[in-house]
């Protein structure tokens, strides 16, 4: 099933007579809670949690993660037996502050003030509260009372990209800047002890983060113009990645066949998106690929025939921050913009994957 395939005008693009107005990423902000060392958390907590399993230890060492972040580290507090209600209270305690810090940094980076923001889009799959996180942040950021809000929940790791498309649509339709913010607190969903390999993998990979971008209409030197987006969902493999609410938080299940399924679709989807703009993969100068794990990155590299250094920024984010669900692709994009050596006109592809199985991609161009 293919949805959200761009046509003329593209996502984030509006024609006014002979003039084409598009949405541009002009500011990025991130906020990370305290870091912990992967080996230290294995030695100090997970070795006992997984009953001294050698398989679990090998997994912790093989996921290419050195450090992660947590609002609640298992070295300080064991949440594995805590109720979902208690975890949601912790979400309400930590998520607003982390989100506020990232959004404020993005707004300042774009040279704007909260009064300029026409819409706040908030993405999160790790917590629920009402009033929602969007409302809490609209208050703490002192956004205008008439600023629109959009809350995108429980889509998982790929959610930043459909949220990007929706936010860009607002920007071009209303000619107002908007903020897209992803806040994920996976540390709140530590599960009870188990020997299940899928649970070991998720506990070895996932991390906490908040990341935000500002989109505004018109050109912005040094920014990124959104040219189009694409999405592909293989519903026949919908059981390969699940994120279910249980009495003890949210439980992630990951099939080892996820990279194999993505490998069937990533080449065609990316090549089709690029072809709509007269491009091929070798034309792309920057890749911001969600580092769901080392096998995911290896699959993308192989299927698109990318050079060895193409996914360097994704691997750095995986190594230093882990998999932060929807926020991760924005962390990669931030590093790519600050260290990627990009020049005006360079094409950039952002890509993320999640439940469905769903693959989302966005094509951008450096301005």
pLDDT in tens, 123-153: 999 999 999 999 999 999 999 999 999 999 9
Question: Residue 91 pLDDT > 90, yes or no?
Answer: yes
Question: Residue 220 pLDDT > 80, yes or no?
Answer: no
**Structure-block tokens of residue 49:** 């949690």
pTM, to two decimals: 0.93
Kindly list the structural domains of the chain, giving each domain's residue range(s) and its CATH number in brackets, ordered by start: 29-217 (3.40.47.10), 222-366 (3.40.47.10)
pLDDT digits (tens, 9 = 90+) for 153-206: 999 999 999 999 999 999 999 999 999 999 999 999 999 999 899 999 999 999
Question: Residue 310 pLDDT > 50, yes or no?
Answer: yes
Question: What does each C-alpha distance from 231 to 1, 51, 172, 341 come to in angstroms?
Answer: 9, 40, 21, 28
Give residue 11's pLDDT: 59
Give residue 62's pLDDT: 96
User: Percent of the chain scored above 90 by pLDDT?
Assistant: 86
For residue 347, report the phi and psi dihedrals to the nearest 5 degrees: -75, 145
Quickly state the pLDDT bin for 308 (edges 50, 70, 90).
confident
**Beta-bridge partner residues of 5:** none
Give residue 3's pLDDT: 33
User: Percent of the chain scored above 70 by pLDDT?
Assistant: 95
In which element (H, E) is residue 363 found? strand 358-366
Quickly state the pLDDT bin for 340 (edges 50, 70, 90).
confident
**Structure-block tokens of residue 338:** 């600050």
Quickly state the pLDDT bin for 20 (edges 50, 70, 90).
low
Residues marked active site are found at: 157
CA distance 301 to 324: 21
Question: Residue 14 pLDDT > 90, yes or no?
Answer: no
Q: Tell me the Ramachandran region of residue 155: left when phi exceeds 0, alpha when psi lies from -120 to 50, beta otherwise.
A: alpha
Other beta carbons within 10 angstroms of residue 128's beta carbon come to: 17
Question: Residue 18 pLDDT > 90, yes or no?
Answer: no
Q: Tell me the Ramachandran region of residue 329: left when phi exceeds 0, alpha when psi lies from -120 to 50, beta otherwise.
A: alpha
Quickly state the pLDDT bin for 255 (edges 50, 70, 90).
confident
Give residue 56's pLDDT: 97
> What number is the average pLDDT over the span 89-112?
98
Give residue 19's pLDDT: 52
Q: Tell me if 270 sits within 8 A of 349, measured CB to CB.
A: yes
Question: Residue 21 pLDDT > 80, yes or no?
Answer: no
Q: Tell me if 330 sits within 8 A of 207, measured CB to CB.
A: no
Collapsing DSSP states into helix, strand and coil, what is residue 203? helix
Taking all residues of the chain, what is their mean pLDDT, rounded to a whole number?
93
For residue 120, report the phi and psi dihedrals to the nearest 5 degrees: -115, 120
CA distance 144 to 319: 39
Give residue 28's pLDDT: 97
Residue 270: partners with Cβ closer than 8 Å, 6 or more residues away: 230, 281, 304, 349, 351, 361
Q: Tell me if 173 sits within 8 A of 82, measured CB to CB.
A: no
Quickly state the pLDDT bin for 222 (edges 50, 70, 90).
confident
Q: Is omega for the bond preceding 123 within 30 degrees of 0, making it cis? A: no
Question: Residue 295 pLDDT > 50, yes or no?
Answer: yes
**Structure-block tokens of residue 249:** 């938080």
Q: 27-41 as b/e, with b when 16 or more CB fall inside 10 Å? A: bbbbbbbebbebeeb
CA distance 270 to 265: 9
Collapsing DSSP states into helix, strand and coil, what is residue 1? coil
pLDDT digits (tens, 9 = 90+) for 260-286: 999 999 999 999 999 999 999 999 999
């Amino acid at each position: 099933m293919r949805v959200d395939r761009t046509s003329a005008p593209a996502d984030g693009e509006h024609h006014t007579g002979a003039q084409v107005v598009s949405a541009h990423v002009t500011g990025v902000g991130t906020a990370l809670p305290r870091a912990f060392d992967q080996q230290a958390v294995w030695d100090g907590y997970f070795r006992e949690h997984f009953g001294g399993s050698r398989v679990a230890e090998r997994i912790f060492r093989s996921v290419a993660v050195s450090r992660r972040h947590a609002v609640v580290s298992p070295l300080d507090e064991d949440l594995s037996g805590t109720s979902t209600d208690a975890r949601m209270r912790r979400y309400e305690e930590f998520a607003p502050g982390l989100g506020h810090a990232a959004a404020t940094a993005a707004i300042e980076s774009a040279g704007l003030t909260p009064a300029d923001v026409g819409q706040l889009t908030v993405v999160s799959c790790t917590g629920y509260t009402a009033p929602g996180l969007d409302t809490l942040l609209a208050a703490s950021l002192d956004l205008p009372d008439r600023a629109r809000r959009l809350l995108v929940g429980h889509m998982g790791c790929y959610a930043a990209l459909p949220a990007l498309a929706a936010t860009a649509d607002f920007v071009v339709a209303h000619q107002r800047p908007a903020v897209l913010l992803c806040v994920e607190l996976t540390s709140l969903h530590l599960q009870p002890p188990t020997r299940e390999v899928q649970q070991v993998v998720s506990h070895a990979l996932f991390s906490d983060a908040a990341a935000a971008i500002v989109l505004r209409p018109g050109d912005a030197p040094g920014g990124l113009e959104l040219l189009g987006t694409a999405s592909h969902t293989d519903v026949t493999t919908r059981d390969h990645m699940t994120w279910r609410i249980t009495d003890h938080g949210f439980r992630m299940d990951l099939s080892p066949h996820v990279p194999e399924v993505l490998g069937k679709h990533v080449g065609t989807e990316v090549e089709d998106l690029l072809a709509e703009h007269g491009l091929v993969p070798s034309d792309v100068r920057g890749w911001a690929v969600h580092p769901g794990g080392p096998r995911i990155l290896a699959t993308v590299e192989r299927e698109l025939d990318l050079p060895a250094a193409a996914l360097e920024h994704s691997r750095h984010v995986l190594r230093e921050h882990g998999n932060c669900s929807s926020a991760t692709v924005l962390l990669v994009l931030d590093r790519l913009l600050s260290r990627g050596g990009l020049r005006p006109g360079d094409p950039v592809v952002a890509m993320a994957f999640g439940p469905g199985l769903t693959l989302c991609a966005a094509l951008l161009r450096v301005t």
